[in-house]
Structure 1
Amino acid sequence: MGCPQVCSGATLQCSFGVAPSMLSVLPQNRTLTAGMPAANIMDHIPLVNILPFGMCQSLANPMVAAATAAALGVLTPMPCIPATATPWIPGGPPTMLLGNMPSLDSNSTLMCNWAGVIKIAMPGQVQMLIP
């Protein structure tokens, strides 16, 4: 059995974010899963698909580095502005294409330019096993 398909409303977590976020998927691929638009690896656009994770704690983020330097080296988180320039990394071999791109499954990861790794905490739908 494969991983659950990820859809709009999925819960995301960044390794340097202090709060979870949600995935927003536009209905451009015209495919629904659990009644919501299904995601593919190209749904990585900051502030469109990837919403902020509260505050960012990564020193690779220039805003965090500047605030930390101003605080004499005390880590000072700053508001998260996702910087996801590349598509999602599939969690395994593609099993389905959406809009000619691999669909997003719950094992996929996304890299932030500020060294964060974004993972899918809850795909937006669940699989039920019926005995």
Structure 2
Amino acid sequence: MSRGMSCNLDLKLNQSYSQCPDEFGNASFLSNPTRLELLMSRVQTLVQQSNELSKNEMEMLQALRATLISCVEEMIAAIEAEITKNQDLRCNTIKNAQKIIQDRFHSIKPDEDELKGFSSELQLFIRDVDTFQDCVPGRR
């Protein structure tokens, strides 16, 4: 060791390389990046790529969410249309049944007691239909 300086090559946490200028002053490894510096650079690159992937994943999740909401809204609209169609068919069936009953009522010539009984039953039927269906003639 030149100049009588104490230059220990063992790795120490607080070792100053300025104590050994002849040994380390022109050493090439001091000017080249250390393994830690190379790893840190790689870590930064990986973190940036990870952030970019996270951003892409969030965009994909938002697009998927929007598509899912759109599909559910379309299904709800289709189901509502089918329910409306079925209600219309049911109401038309009930209206046709009422028309047939009224036509039969007008076409027969029963006696007065039979007519009163049938009229009462018809009124009960219509009241039941009115209770369970909101599509009696004149109501829609």
Task: Between the two structures, name the one with larger relative contact order (CA 8 Å, sep ≥ 6).
Answer: 1
Q: Which has the larger radius of gyration?
A: 2
Query: Which structure features the higher share of helix residues?
Result: 2
Q: Which has the higher strand share?
A: 1
Decide: shared fold, TM above 0.5: no
TM-score normalised to structure 1 length = 0.20
- When the two structures are superposed, what TM-score results if normalisation uses the length of structure 2? 0.19
